[in-house]
Structure 1
């Protein structure tokens, strides 16, 4: 008597969730799309940057899985061009050993990364993790707006951070452009002032508990964030985010919510 394997249960949140797989390899596109479709997702595919942009115009996607190495415009260039305030979450695929791609991808706002060739089950787990992290954001924003018609800013050392609008203004009221990764990291620092935060904590809070620990990515983002926090008079940056040797980082300013 032949035993028939029972299909894995599909998580409720997966149903009717539309994903976009961007990869120049047709075999990888088809296999990945078929696997994710079997787990309840609606999956579209794109073979290059142009096809991806066309798909983003046609549909609203919950998440994009984006290959780095593609002919013509590569995945990092595409990621750099996205408006991270309106674009869907992105998981980048990079070749094993390409550490630079991983660091740069996270700096540009990718929500997660996975090495190629990607194990389908690991990719599925990463997709679910990113979707869970993003699922609560709209509700949280709605509750803040409902509770108070006045927008609450986080203010520190003359700076003004708008969590809802995802904007940072310097003491001269100049808008500072932050990547998605830089914004998330700054939020974690500002919400935990005058406390030493380990790299693991910063990674978990800004990327999610299921993110692969990658200390170098946090160090690079801290360095970039310090440059963004540098004032015209030369103060800021290193003064606001201090390195605590063998421990982590400390946000030194007092923070007010008003």
Structure 2
């Protein structure tokens, strides 16, 4: 059963979310402080964490960063009482997959959790990954990189794997499936985060910058992910399967 960890010092919110998510079929664990939440993460192995930014003992951003150092696959949704774009950007930089502002609707929380789980292939398995079919490796290559889409691993030319957060890998996968095609910020955000882009929302730019730091030789003059002013981004590198047939 899918497990959700709720970390929030507001006991009323913990009770409300816990009851609702349990009714939706999830296993739920709660924590009222950063220290308790981090310990629950280490011992409970949750699939998704809802993490409040403002905690009594530790900053939620710091907790997210600590979690990401240990587990790059667990889903993290930051919960904030503010609508400040800076909070959103910082959360993504710390490794969060999504964020939501208080007050929120329970159905929106559920939809966002399911979206994270789908992107991580936990909630809905793709047909090729169903239990009655044998797993197959889906290898693609671009520039000096090899990507195993099944195992979600990025490997450098020297054979060393490069660590990517789940959100960063999802973004890379979007580009790999749409090479040499201009993608707007709105389109990228719609695919990666299942929500629409808003004016002054720089979350896509933050994700792009983070991915560039991993795959570009020179981030000041990127050759793989290029910015098309006024339109969005384009993945300019040729993408091939391991058979070297262009996607």
With the shorter chain as reference, the TM-score category is 0.7 to 0.9
The aligned runs of 1:1-258 (5 Å cut-off) are 17-82=2-67, 83-87=70-74, 89-133=75-119, 134=121, 135-137=123-125, 140-141=128-129, 146=134, 148=136, 151-208=137-194, 211-214=195-198, 215-231=201-217, 234=218, 238-258=222-242
Change (3 A) 1:244 1:51: same
Change (3 A) 1:84 1:59: closer
Deviates more, 1:40-49 or 1:118-127: 118-127
Q: Does structure 2 conserve the Cα–Cα contact (< 8 Å) formed by 1:108 and 1:179?
A: no
Change (3 A) 1:175 1:67: same
Question: Which runs of 5 or more residues in structure 2 are unaligned?
Answer: 243-247
Question: Could you tell me the TM-score, scaled by structure 1's length?
Answer: 0.77
CA distance in 2, matches of 1:92, 1:235: 28
Question: Which runs of 5 or more residues in structure 1 are unaligned?
Answer: 1-15
Q: Does structure 2 conserve the Cα–Cα contact (< 8 Å) formed by 1:227 and 1:237?
A: no
Deviates more, 1:119-128 or 1:96-105: 119-128
Deviation by residue 1:41-97 (Cα, 9 ceiling, x = unmatched): 43321012222233234434342211111122222222222244442x222101222
Change (3 A) 1:120 1:55: same
Change (3 A) 1:19 1:225: closer
Change (3 A) 1:230 1:17: closer
CA distance in 2, matches of 1:38, 1:152: 37
Change (3 A) 1:70 1:115: same
Question: Could you tell me the TM-score, scaled by structure 2's length?
Answer: 0.80
SS across alignment from 2:150: coil
Displacement of 1:250 in angstroms is 0.8
Q: Does structure 1 conserve the Cα–Cα contact (< 8 Å) formed by 2:6 and 2:31?
A: yes
CA RMSD of aligned residues (A): 2.9
CA distance in 2, matches of 1:196, 1:76: 32
Displacement of 1:252 in angstroms is 0.8
Count of paired positions: 236
Q: Does structure 2 conserve the Cα–Cα contact (< 8 Å) formed by 1:188 and 1:205?
A: yes
Displacement of 1:132 in angstroms is 4.4
Change (3 A) 1:35 1:169: closer
